[in-house]
Amino acid sequence: MRKTWLTGPRITGALIVLALALAVWFLLRKPALEVETATVSRGSLAVTIDDLGETRVRDLYTVSSPVTGELLRVPLKSGAAVEQGKTLVAELQAIQPDPVDARSYAQASAGIAAAEAQLAAARARVQEVRAAERLATADHGRVAALADRGFVSRARYDQARADLASSRAAVSEAVQGADAALHQLQAARAALRGGAGVPRGQRTAITAPVSGTVLRVLQESRRPVVAGTPLLEIGDPAKLEIVSDLLSTDAVRVRPGAAVEIDAWGGARPLKGTVRLVEPYGFTKISALGVEEQRVNVVIDLAEPRLAWERLGHGYRVTVRIALWSADKVLRVPMGALFRDGEGWAAFAVDARGKARKVAVRVGQMNAEMAEVQGGLAEGDTVLIHPGEKVKGGVKVKAAAPD
């Protein structure tokens, strides 16, 4: 009988060697990496500029004080309806003079005394020149009677007439001087009258320049104001627009007529709007980080009936999404799958063997979530989202279990 070499001890040794080999293989092999994946698909894609905006009344009227005076308490509150040319919005009256101190009082009293003396002298001068006028009138009458009968020369008659004209002119001058002295005396006395010098009832009434609603009362209490002081703002809340200050580098990409989605305004759904104007000048604004930014105002009209946004008012904050480009049935890939590779873009795709494969991707339009694929990937390809440093070409991967 032939003996086989597979005896008991040999079989046991072979099994031990096989077990060790399997153990070494399990220890040395690299397990598949768990990764997050997505699928290249077709769908709609829109490129927008997102920023904050603020509502404002299209035609805002600021009512200012036309004169310097004392503003009486404004009778209106925010939200009050006003009618153009009829509703009284504010009223001003002449300011009472300031009290006079002791020195000013003494100076004013001395001025009054001087003015009284000048007035007395002027009135005495009036009496003097009127007496001279009466004498010149009588002399002119006598000379004229003698001249008619030829008893005086023509020269004597002319002299009498000139004396009469000169005396009359002197009377007129003296009367005017007396009037001036009287006015100077009145002015000197007015300096000591205080509030009694202000005529009662001398007020300036201000009516609404336009029909609408009082948006804000800037000066409510009674107080002195100078000409040009803003008092209140009036506008029509039914005529709202939205203004968003974009970075100048973004504003140059926006065109009038572009569609706008208005969100985060407090309503149940976003509103639709349209860009009406990109202002032709920019301004400098300091960001929250202290960086100087050049900004440009973009004005947006609401494209829906007022019933949809009637709760909005002047100065409310909203979020605007201004459309720059949009298309349907676009081959797209999540932005998280793309990474820079030199001057281009690349992604890791999963091949049929379950291994990662680096692919150069040619992209077109992109937003914060998706990018348009123009080459390198096909519809249905599986790509890795946010591949880490461990992912390299040829590494076996598997989709992570959903949370």
What is d(CA 370, CA 364) in angstroms, rounded to the nearest whole number? 10
DSSP at 208: -
Does the global pTM surpass 0.85? Answer: no
- pLDDT higher than threshold 70 for residue 203: yes
> Residue 237's closest CA among 64, 79, 70?
79
Note the pLDDT tens digit of each residue in 82-114: 999 999 999 998 876 666 677 777 777 888 888
What is d(CA 323, CA 383) in angstroms, rounded to the nearest whole number? 28
* Phi, psi (deg, nearest 5) at residue 387: -65, 135
Burial of residue 300 (number of CB atoms within 10 Å: 0-12, 13-18, 19+)? buried
What is d(CA 30, CA 356) in angstroms, rounded to the nearest whole number? 14
As a whole-number percent, the residues of the chain with pLDDT over 90 amount to: 50
Residue 33, both tokens: 């990496």
59 contacts: CB under 8 Å, gap ≥ 6: 210, 235, 236, 239
Note the pLDDT tens digit of each residue in 136-180: 888 888 878 777 777 777 788 778 788 888 888 888 888 888 888
> Residue 38's closest CA among 374, 385, 302?
385
DSSP at 225: E
- The CA R_g of the chain, rounded to the nearest whole Å, is 49
> Do β-strands 259-263 and 317-334 pair in parallel, antiparallel, or remain unpaired?
antiparallel
- pLDDT higher than threshold 50 for residue 195: no
